[in-house]
Amino acid sequence: MAGPCAIEGEEIALRIAERIVSITDKLQIPYIFKGSYRKANRSRIDSFTGIGDEKALKILQKVHTTFGVPTVTDIHETQEAAMAAAYVDVLQIPAFLCRQTELLAAAAKTGKAVNIKKGQFLSADSMRFAVDKVMESGNQQVILTDRGNTFGYQDLVVDFRGIPVMQSFDVPVVMDCTHSLQQPNQASGVTGGKPALIETIAKAAIAVGADGLFIETHPDPANAKSDGANMLPLDLLEDLLIKLTRIREAIA
């Protein structure tokens, strides 16, 4: 799963998607385009939240029809599930909301695949209950995505033991290589990050057997409207994925 943090406009979304599709097609990597149609969890009230729900969702739909790839976006409240499901293939539950029973059930009942981000405040074992909520709502299409664990007030740390633990629930497990490097709760009100370590997190995840990777990427992270501090520059993606496919082949 890869794409910009937020949908900023049609031209840039299609440009990012076209570039990633060309890379993943060449490397024969299954690909899901990621973009948030709205950012609900922001540090400040004046932070960018989106270009409008329907406008952004239609852009996600256009990515799907233009390039023939599935798309994923996050939802925040129960009433958003059916709305977003009309446009995208995978509904994502944000980490802070992974215990919200009604939200998980609403996503499940759309029939779309549900990608649940592991809460920064939860153990890997605890995610079993999130999986159960979706499956017991009649949907067996569940993905779990690790995005690190809260470490102090302003940092995260990845415990790679969580990948095989969550795989034991018989669901695919993805490593979020960019959000796991966030440095939240900065005094400025803008989340920081350590993007220089994206390759380190990605290599380790593949080495321990992760089923997939989640990478937010942008042609100009410094000017991205959301989470630029921990995104991968788009022109570095191909080289990274080439290295990762070699690791995957070595452990196969």
The pLDDT assigned to 227 comes to 72
> What is each CA distance from 111 to 88, 106, 108, 148, 167, in whole angstroms?
11, 10, 6, 28, 22
The pLDDT assigned to 188 comes to 60
The pLDDT assigned to 105 comes to 98
Q: In angstroms, rounded to a whole number, what is the distance separating the alpha carbons of residues 77 and 142?
A: 18
Contact 104, 137 (CB under 8 A): yes
The pLDDT assigned to 15 comes to 98
The pLDDT assigned to 229 comes to 81
Classified as helix, coil or strand, 142 is: strand
Sorted by where each starts, the structural domains of the chain and their CATH numbers stand as 2-251 (3.20.20.70)
For residue 37, the 8-state DSSP code is S
Classified as helix, coil or strand, 247 is: helix
pTM: 0.94
The pLDDT assigned to 41 comes to 72
The pLDDT assigned to 191 comes to 63
Helical pair 53-67 and 10-27, crossing angle rounded to 10 deg: 30
For residue 86, the 8-state DSSP code is T
> How are beta strands 142-146 and 149-150 bridged, if at all?
unpaired
Contact 134, 109 (CB under 8 A): no
The distance from CA 74 to its chain's CA centroid, rounded to whole angstroms, is: 8
Beta-carbon count within 10 A of 25 CB: 12
Q: In angstroms, rounded to a whole number, what is the distance separating the alpha carbons of residues 170 and 231?
A: 30
pLDDT truncated to tens, each residue of the chain (252 aa)? 999 999 999 999 999 999 999 999 999 999 999 999 998 876 677 777 789 999 999 999 999 999 999 999 999 999 999 999 999 999 999 999 999 999 999 999 999 999 999 999 999 999 999 999 999 999 999 999 999 999 988 899 999 999 999 999 999 999 999 999 987 765 565 566 788 999 999 999 999 999 999 999 999 999 988 777 889 999 999 999 999 999 999 998
Q: In angstroms, rounded to a whole number, what is the distance separating the alpha carbons of residues 90 and 172?
A: 14
> Which phi and psi angles does 73 have, rounded to 5°?
-145, 155
Helices (H), 110-191: 127-135, 162-167
